[in-house]
Amino acid sequence: MFNRIGAAAVVICLSSIAALSQGPKLTDPQIAHIAYTAGEIDIKAAKQALDKTSNKEVKEFAEGMVRDHEAVNKQALDLVKKLKVTPEDNDTSRTLSKQAGEKRSELAKLKGANFDKAYIANEVAFHKTVNNALETQLIPSASNAELKSLLQTGLKIFQGHEQHAEHVEADLK
């Protein structure tokens, strides 16, 4: 069951990310907004997990997600202020936000080990999708060198998150 939840999350996220390559080239303000939105999505998911879980390993993972994503988002906000760029909302960031809200509602109905497994499966799928989007779409599309560098730094951090989530997922089975 949990593999289906994770697979569904990947399909949903991939459909949003696939739209990136089919539309016009993304601008730096759009890229900044997508990246910031992805961070906010994971912060909200982690805060939900902190409210619902009693599993020490899941709690530690969620605390790390809040800490790391808040730090990267702060760097992103500092950068856009420095560059005098206003992040631009777009179809991809709106779709990601809508789908994440639906996933949080779905997870809110679960308890205990069922919640933990579904949350972590979603985190694995989410990080795989975001990392792929960073690597194949967002970083190559970024024009500004500082934005590109921040995205590359974020990718390294988020690849670590993906590995950590996979480890927690294996422990929960």
151 in Cβ contact with 139 (< 8 Å)? yes
Nearest to 130 by CA among 86, 100, 104: 100
pLDDT for residue 23: 58
Other C-beta atoms within 10 Å of 57: how many?
15
Measured CA to CA in angstroms, residue 37 lies from 1, 56, 112 at distances of: 28, 27, 28
Nearest to 137 by CA among 8, 9, 6, 35: 35
**Residues 59, 63, 68, 70, CA torsion sign:** positive
Domain count, the chain: 1
pLDDT for residue 109: 97
pLDDT average per 10 residues of sequence, the chain (173 residues): 42 47 77 94 97 97 96 92 91 92 96 97 95 94 95 95 97 91
Find the CATH number of the domain harbouring 37.
Answer: 1.20.1260.10
pLDDT for residue 173: 85
**145: amino acid identity, one letter:** A
Quote the domain boundaries for residue 164: 2-20+27-172
pLDDT for residue 110: 97
